[in-house]
């Protein structure tokens, strides 16, 4: 039995939800930033760094909002730098190691497809702040989607080696895609009150878009074999993470933890 919504519950749910959206953006942004200076060619180094910056920009807007919701002494920085792994609510997909270029662009494509559908719907949220953030972010995300989709096709339908790597990335990433469209309790409660997006409703359009691009990328057969795999990894949205998140936080939070309150 679902208990009645109380104002206190809705507030906690909203904070969790905003943090979930922010953590997704921050962690993938940080992962992508690991390519800066290491991209396969100069132009793509800049492209992936731009995407990283877009995501970190989205994370900042969301953390600022979350800090207002938390009240007290919380700031966007304390939320990013002083929470531990179990407080993070990002999907597992975004925290996985950087991988090779095929892994990076396919992960980005899976995530951008989700984020594009999500933000499009979130512009109609009852929460005006979330709606405004989504409105601004959806333009960036449609470019990420275009860019990553073209890379998926280019590599999937490229050389034997690039096709092999794309296939390997697909096999590795697939089990992490289900969590994107499986809702956490805070998400489903908030979607009923018109604040959050009901992510299960994104599953059909997500699969459609992904199928369309993977078909063009000559990865149709691999995808069809995977579509029957319904077992999916999950836990990130509720704070149960893979071993990768601890490492990324250690690197990201090291300075603030060692020299509390330092700035430059």
Partner 1 sequence: MTNQQNWPLWEVFIRSKQGLDHKHVGSLHAADAGMAMENARDVYTRRQEGVSIWVVESAHIHASNPEEAESFFDPANDKVYRHPTFYNLPDSLKNM
Positions touching partner 1 (CB under 8 A) are 40-44, 46-47, 50, 143, 146-147, 150, 154
Cβ atoms of residues 95 and 27 within 8 Å: yes
In the complex, least distance from residue 211 CB atom to partner 1, rounded to whole angstroms: 21
In the complex, least distance from residue 44 CB atom to partner 1, rounded to whole angstroms: 8
Q: Round to whole Å and give the CA distance between 34 and 29.
A: 9
In the complex, least distance from residue 16 CB atom to partner 1, rounded to whole angstroms: 34
> Measured from the CB atom, is 159 or 230 closer to partner 1?
159
> Measured from the CB atom, is 61 or 153 closer to partner 1?
153
> Measured from the CB atom, is 46 or 171 closer to partner 1?
46
Cβ atoms of residues 212 and 222 within 8 Å: no
In the complex, least distance from residue 46 CB atom to partner 1, rounded to whole angstroms: 5
> Measured from the CB atom, is 47 or 137 closer to partner 1?
47
Cβ atoms of residues 24 and 94 within 8 Å: yes
Q: Note every long-range contact of 142-147, with CB atoms under 8 Å and residues 24 or more positions apart, other chains counting.
A: 142/116, 144/51, 144/54, 144/108, 144/112, 144/115, 144/116, 145/109, 145/112, 145/113, 145/116, 147/47, 147/51, 147/108
> Measured from the CB atom, is 43 or 243 closer to partner 1?
43
In the complex, least distance from residue 151 CB atom to partner 1, rounded to whole angstroms: 9
- If you compute the radius of gyration of the chain from its CA atoms, what whole number of angstroms results? 18
Angle, CA of 77, 79 and 84, to the nearest 5°: 125
Cβ atoms of residues 124 and 91 within 8 Å: no
In the complex, least distance from residue 132 CB atom to partner 1, rounded to whole angstroms: 21
> Measured from the CB atom, is 3 or 159 closer to partner 1?
159
Q: Round to whole Å and give the CA distance between 18 and 134.
A: 12
> Measured from the CB atom, is 4 or 42 closer to partner 1?
42
> Residue 113 belongs to what H/E stretch?
helix 101-122
In the complex, least distance from residue 24 CB atom to partner 1, rounded to whole angstroms: 22
């Amino acid at each position: 039995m679902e208990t009645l919504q109380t104002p206190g519950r809705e507030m906690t749910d909203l904070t969790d939800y905003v943090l979930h959206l922010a953590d997704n953006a921050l962690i993938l942004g940080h992962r992508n930033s690991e390519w800066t200076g290491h991209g396969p060619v100069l132009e793509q180094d800049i492209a992936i760094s731009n995407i990283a910056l877009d995501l970190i920009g989205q994370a900042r807007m969301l953390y600022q909002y979350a800090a207002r919701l938390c009240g007290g002494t919380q700031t966007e920085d304390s939320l990013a730098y002083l929470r531990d792994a179990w407080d993070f609510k990002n999907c597992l997909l975004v925290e996985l190691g950087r991988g090779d270029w095929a892994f990076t662009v396919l992960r980005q494509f899976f995530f951008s497809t989700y984020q594009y559908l999500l933000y499009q719907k979130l512009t109609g949220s009852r929460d005006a702040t979330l709606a405004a953030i989504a409105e601004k972010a959806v333009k960036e995300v449609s470019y990420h989607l275009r860019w990553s989709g073209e890379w998926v096709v280019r590599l999937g339908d490229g050389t034997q080696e690039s096709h092999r790597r794309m296939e390997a990335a697909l096999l590795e990433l697939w089990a992490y895609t289900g969590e994107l469209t499986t809702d956490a309790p805070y998400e489903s409660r908030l979607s009923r009150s018109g604040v959050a997006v009901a992510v299960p409703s994104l599953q059909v359009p997500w699969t459609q878009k992904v199928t369309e691009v993977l078909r063009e990328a000559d990865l149709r057969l691999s995808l069809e074999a995977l579509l029957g795999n319904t077992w999916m990894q999950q836990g990130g949205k509720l704070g149960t993470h893979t071993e990768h998140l601890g490492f990324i936080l250690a690197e990201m939070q090291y300075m603030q933890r060692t020299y509390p309150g330092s700035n430059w």
